[in-house]
Structure 1
Amino acid sequence: MSIPFLRKKYVKKSNRRAAIKKLVKTFAILELIFIIILILSFYLAQPIKSTKVVYIPKGSINKIISYLKRKNFSLTNLDTIFLRFIGSPQSGWIDIKKENLSRGDFLYKLTKAKAAMVNITLIPGETTEIFLDQVAKKLKLNNIKLKKIYSKISPYPEGVLIPDSYNIPIGIDEKHFIYYMVRISLERHKNLSIKFFGNYNQKKWFEKYITIASIIEKEAANKDEMPLISAVIYNRLKIGMPLQMDGTLNYGKYSHIKVTPKRIKNDNSSFNTYKNRGLPPYPVCTVSLDAIKAAIFPAKVSYLYFVKNKNKKHLFSSTYKKHLMNIKAVKK
Structure 2
Amino acid sequence: MVTNKMINILSILLDGVFLIILAIFFYLGLPITSITSTPITSAVVVVPQGSISAIITQLGKNGWDITQFDRHILRLLGTPQSGVIDISYAVHNGVITKGDFLYALTSAKAAQESVTLIPGETLHFFIIDIGVQLDLNEDKLLESYLRYAPYEEGVILPNTYKIHANATEDSLMRSLIQQSLAIHEDLARKYLGRYEQDEWFRHIAMASIIQKEAANTQEMPIIAAVIYNRLKLNMPLQMDGSLNYGKYSHSKVTPERIRNDSSPFNTYRNKGIPPIPVGSASIEAIKAVFEPAQVDYLYFVRNKNGTHSFSKTFKEHRENFDK
Residue number in structure 2 paired with 1:157: 152
1:126 lines up with 2:116 in the alignment: no
Residue number in structure 2 paired with 1:12: none
1:143 lines up with 2:130 in the alignment: no
Structure 1 276/95 Cα, relative in aligned 2: closer, same or farther at 3 Å?
farther
Q: Secondary structure at the match of 1:295?
A: helix
Give the Cα separation in 2 of the matches to 1:196 and 1:240.
Answer: 25
- Work out the number of aligned pairs and report it: 230
Structure 1 110/129 Cα, relative in aligned 2: closer, same or farther at 3 Å?
farther
Deviations 1:145-199 (A, max 9, x none): 1001111210011111011111222121000001000000000110111122221
Deviations 1:242-262 (A, max 9, x none): 000000000011110110111
Q: Give unmatched runs, 5+ long, in structure 1.
A: 1-43, 46-85, 99-108
Correspondence for 2:229 among 235, 241, 248 = 235
Residue pair 1:95, 1:113 contacting (<8 A) in 2 also: no
Correspondence for 2:250 among 242, 256, 279 = 256
Q: CA deviation at 1:112?
A: 4.1
1:96 lines up with 2:87 in the alignment: no
Give the Cα separation in 2 of the matches to 1:281 and 1:200.
Answer: 18
After TM superposition, the structure 1 = structure 2 runs for residues 1-332 of structure 1, keeping only pairs within 5 Å, are 96=83, 112=107, 114-207=109-202, 209-329=203-323
Residue pair 1:96, 1:113 contacting (<8 A) in 2 also: no
Give the Cα separation in 2 of the matches to 1:95 and 1:299.
Answer: 53
Residue pair 1:216, 1:230 contacting (<8 A) in 2 also: yes
Deviations 1:55-74 (A, max 9, x none): xxxxxxxxxxxxxxxxxxxx
- The amino acid of 2:83's aligned partner reads I
Residue number in structure 1 paired with 2:75: none
With normalisation by structure 1, the TM-score equals 0.66
Deviations 1:52-108 (A, max 9, x none): xxxxxxxxxxxxxxxxxxxxxxxxxxxxxxxxxx79x9xxxx75259xxxxxxxxxx
Q: CA deviation at 1:312?
A: 1.2
Give the Cα separation in 2 of the matches to 1:216 and 1:327.
Answer: 20
- The amino acid of 2:289's aligned partner reads A
Give the Cα separation in 2 of the matches to 1:239 and 1:110.
Answer: 65
Give the Cα separation in 1 of the matches to 2:182 and 2:127.
Answer: 20
Larger radius of gyration between Structure 1 and Structure 2: 1
Structure 1 116/316 Cα, relative in aligned 2: closer, same or farther at 3 Å?
same
Structure 1 95/234 Cα, relative in aligned 2: closer, same or farther at 3 Å?
farther
Residue pair 2:84, 2:111 contacting (<8 A) in 1 also: no
Q: Give unmatched runs, 5+ long, in structure 2.
A: 1-49, 52-77, 86-103
State the identity as a percent: 52
Residue pair 2:115, 2:161 contacting (<8 A) in 1 also: yes
Residue number in structure 1 paired with 2:55: none
> Could you say what the CA RMSD is over the residues aligned between the two structures, in angstroms?
2.2
Moved over 2 A (4+): 94-98, 109-114
With normalisation by structure 2, the TM-score equals 0.68
- The amino acid of 2:129's aligned partner reads Q
Give the Cα separation in 2 of the matches to 1:212 and 1:296.
Answer: 10
Deviations 1:203-261 (A, max 9, x none): 11102x11111000000011110000000001111111000000000001111011011
Q: CA deviation at 1:296?
A: 1.2
Select the structure that is richer in helix.
1
Q: Secondary structure at the match of 1:303?
A: coil
Q: Secondary structure at the match of 1:315?
A: strand
